[in-house]
Amino acid sequence: MESVAPAIRTDELAKRYGRITALAGLTMSIPAGDVFGFLGPNGAGKTTAVKLLLGLARPSSGEAWVLGAPVSDRTAHRRARRGVGYLPELFRYQHWLSAREVLRVHCELIDLDRAAWDAEIKDALGIVGLAERADDRVGGYSKGMQQRLGLGVALLGRPALGRHDVREVIRALKARGTTVFLNSHLLTEVEQVCDRVAFVDKGRVVQVGTLAELLVADSVRIRATGLDNGAHEALRSFGDPQREGEWLVVRGIAADRVPDLVRAIVERGGRVHAVEPRHESLEDRFLSLLEKPRKSDA
């Protein structure tokens, strides 16, 4: 619909450490305003990609643009980082400071107008639910509180929101037009908040799309015996059949075709013991993509 400049764009972005390829060639584009889930198994290159996007590491080849600024242009990229809030996986802040002081340091680092600090910090503390502990040393915080402080730090420079839950914060950010890049292995979390998702494996994007696009495939599990070898091919018109022991899993089948599938099995001499229709979750999709990544990479 609207054609705004992408918030993040990468073009064959690659990072090698000696012989090890951490990121093979990442190409993707994230429209401004999207909540984008960045998914992949450990070692897929997610963290490396984030470091490259933030300018913490430099690409071996390829290019990335953050809010329009290429990472290769250090000055422009540094300026663009004013508009980026980052919640590191490893959220460690100066433990000898209070939460309020940490937030103040970050207000100063992003050039926020000094007059706006107090209101900004008050909002951030309120949103993440740390208002009452704002003047305690971070060193005494629980891990959860430290993470909330991290979220507060990442929220600075953005106007008020009003809930404590991370998912709620993300939804509220989206409502304000903020692009959210969620690097996660928590699939349910991603499933609940993201508009679009990229699956990454071995340093490349395996598949990218909206949740609706990626999860069109409903599937059905049928426990059937007595099927001959040719049955597999014959059932292909219904979806993508795969044997899992006694079970036959057919992915990508429309729900109203399940009875037809059962009849087709019976007509080929199969005996049907059980039928379990399933709505595919992101996790199923993710796992099936990882099992045969190249085949589905259309």
Partner 1 sequence: MRSLVIARLVIREGARRRLLLALLILTLIVIALTGWGFSRIPTITQRGAPLPDLQVKLIASQFLILTMFMFSFVLAMAAVFVAAPQISGEVESGTALAILSRPIGRAEYVIGKWLGLTALVAVYAGGAAAIEIGVVNAVIGYIPPEPVAFLGFAIAEGLVIMSLALLLSTRLSGMVGGVIALVLFGIAWIGGIVGGIGAAFDNAGITHVATATKLILPTDGLWRGAVYALEPQALVGAQAGTVSAANPFYASSAAPLAFELYVVGWVALVLALAVVSFREREP
- Residues at the site binding partner 1, with contacts judged by CB under 8 A: 51, 54-58, 74, 78-82, 84, 86, 88, 90-94, 96-97, 105-106, 108-111, 150, 153
Please tell me the distance from the alpha carbon of residue 238 to that of residue 258, in angstroms, as a whole number: 8
Nearer to partner 1, 56 or 254 (CB): 56
Rounded CA-CA distance 204/212 in Å is 22
Q: In angstroms, what is the minimal distance from the CB of 35 to partner 1?
A: 20
Q: How far is the CB of 81 from partner 1 (least distance, A)?
A: 4
Residue closer to partner 1, measured from CB, 40 or 150:
150
Give the Cα separation of 237 and 263 in Å (integer): 13
Q: Which CB, 127 or 265, lies closer to partner 1? A: 127
Q: Which CB atom, from 77 or from 285, has the smaller least distance to partner 1?
A: 77
CB of 79 or CB of 278, closer to partner 1: 79
* Residue 38 C-beta: closest distance to partner 1, Å: 16
| Residue 158: DSSP 8-state | S
Closest CB to partner 1 among 121 and 231? 121
Nearest alpha-carbon partner for 93 in 49, 52, 47, 154: 154
Burial class (CB in 10 A: 0-12, 13-18, 19+), 215: middle
20-31: strand order across its sheet: 20-31, 6-17, 61-66, 69-70
- Please report how close the Cβ of residue 5 comes to partner 1 at its closest, in angstroms: 19
One-letter amino acid for residue 62 of the chain:
G
CB of 293 to partner 1, least distance (A): 28
**143-155 vs 117-128: helix axis angle to the nearest 10?**
140
Q: For partner 1, which is the closer residue by CB, 55 or 270?
A: 55
Report the nearest approach of partner 1 to the CB of residue 44 (Å): 19
Q: How far is the CB of 30 from partner 1 (least distance, A)?
A: 17
Question: 241 and 278 in contact (C-beta within 8 Å)?
Answer: no
In angstroms, the Cα distances linking 272 to 234, 251, 268 are: 16, 18, 11
CA distance 130 to 126: 6
